[in-house]
């Protein structure tokens, strides 16, 4: 099926950027977004190898924005200090 959709130039540019970041063509990337949006639940959710790799790339793309935490932030005492 072929569908024609008019989108704003800035949306087109963002789709092109996201597709390039994933190493995909814009048409294939947009098709995958549409397929994902209408996917009907059929059982336990499982990520395909490609989707898992894409998810890891998305996480890594913005990892420089994740603040570093001191080691003591993840200790048991720190996590459960309000539950004594």
Alpha-carbon distance 58 to 52, whole Å? 10
User: pTM for the whole thing?
Assistant: 0.48
Give pLDDT, residue 68. 86
Give pLDDT, residue 8. 95
CB 57 within 8 A of CB 21: yes
The tokens of 1 are what?
Answer: 């099926």
Residues of the chain with pLDDT > 90, as a percent, come to 33
26-62, pLDDT tens digit by residue? 999 999 999 888 876 666 667 778 888 888 888 888 8
Q: At what angle do helices 9-21 and 26-38 cross, to 10 degrees?
A: 90
């Amino acid at each position: 099926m072929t569908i024609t959709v008019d989108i704003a130039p800035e949306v087109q540019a963002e789709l092109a950027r996201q597709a390039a970041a994933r190493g995909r063509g814009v048409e294939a990337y947009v098709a995958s977004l549409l397929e994902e949006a209408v996917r009907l639940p059929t059982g336990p959710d499982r990520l395909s190898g490609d989707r898992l790799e894409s998810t890891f790339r998305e996480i890594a793309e913005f990892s420089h924005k994740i603040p570093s935490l001191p080691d003591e932030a993840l200790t048991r005492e720190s996590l459960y200090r309000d539950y004594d």
